[in-house]
Amino acid sequence: MTTEPTYENPAGIGTPFSAYSHVARAGELICVAGQCGIVEDNSVAGPDVATQTIRAYENIRIILESQGASLGDVVRFVSYLTTRDDVSDFYAARDKYFAAHYPERAYPPNTLLIVQGLVRADLLVEIDATAYRR
């Protein structure tokens, strides 16, 4: 039996910036579109990469939970920063977030890229995730 992919925009996070879905699920595979430090009204969570990183992870958590999964089910992250100057603050924010939510888990693989810019000039970080729901 083949299951068609499903696409959703769960409550609790901002609406997509264009016509796409925040999450796609194909069987037990969950793909989360890149999440930024955006709160539910689509405003930026804060002016610094640490605040935006924590909110991006929180958005991913909300999306995964809407699919019956958690950050503990993530098998890969891809992270984008707009400047190398923010790398240490990004890692510190990630460490803080995961220590609070998943202190017993190792980090999943993460590809970190430095890009010229994101969809909005006030965004400093974007993170997408792939998870496998057990």
Residue 15, domain member (yes or no): yes
User: What's the pLDDT score for residue 5?
Assistant: 74
* 1: pLDDT strictly greater than 60: no
Kindly report the CATH number assigned to the domain that includes residue 34: 3.30.1330.40
Residues 12-50: pLDDT tens digits? 887 777 657 788 888 999 999 999 999 999 999 999 999
The reply to whether 111 falls in a domain is yes
Number of domains observed in the structure of the chain: 1
Which residue range is the domain that position 86 belongs to?
A: 6-132
Bridge-based pairing of strands 6-8 and 29-36 is: unpaired
User: How does pLDDT run across 79-110, given as a tens digit for each residue?
Assistant: 999 999 999 999 999 999 888 877 777 788 99
> DSSP readout, 79-110?
EEES-GGGHHHHHHHHHHHHHHH-TTSPPPPE
Structure letter (DSSP) for residue 48? S
Question: For residue 61, is it within any domain?
Answer: yes
1 inside domain: no
Beta carbons within 8 Å of 92's beta carbon, 6+ residues apart: 50
pLDDT beyond 60 at 54 = yes
The answer to whether the Cα torsion of 45, 83, 73, 100 is positive or negative is negative
Beta-bridge mates of residue 31: 24, 130
* 95 within a domain of the structure (yes/no): yes
Q: Number of C-alpha atoms within 13 angstroms, CB side, residue 29? A: 7
